[in-house]
Amino acid sequence: MHELYVKWKARTFLLIDVPPMHRSPGGKAIGIDEERYTTWNTELLLQAKSFAKATSKASIYVVSSYVIISDILDNPASYGLSDYIEEEVSDKEDWEPDVGRSEEENQKSLWEDDIHLSTAGHRIFADRLWNIFGP
């Protein structure tokens, strides 16, 4: 960020932390733990605060995809999603997103594949960003 600030005179920065990948279908399949993500996100926030303090002319925004995606996973019905994927991942080792599901079920899933958000997931995430930064 420092180079963007000095060389290119950037003054507004939006940082998005790492989502809870341990809760993704791929993360669940390989059994990764939460600590690596919370540690990274904590350090990102500390560095952003330090940069903001050192560069008074810059605006730094940190959005927590970790919090947003966790909220969606904890409350899928409130976002019009099913928790189908988390249930399937716990039951099957070789999870495939589109196998045996209707188009309607696919539109209600948070995950497109093992690690990527679906269109519905991206839409919800974008709506949350809009609620933060919109008009």
Say yes or no: domain 2-133 is CATH 3.40.50.1110: yes
CA–CA gap between residue 112 and residue 104 (Å, rounded): 13
Model-level pTM? 0.80
What's the chain's Rg over C-alpha atoms? 18
DSSP string, 31-98: T--SHHHHHHHHHHHHHHHHHHHH-TT-EEEEE-HHHHHHHHHH-GGGGT---HHHHHHHH-SS--TT
Give me the tens of pLDDT residue by residue for the chain, a chain 135 residues long: 888 888 888 899 999 999 999 999 999 999 888 999 999 999 999 999 999 999 989 999 999 999 999 999 999 999 999 765 555 555 555 555 555 556 666 678 899 999 999 999 999 999 999 999 988
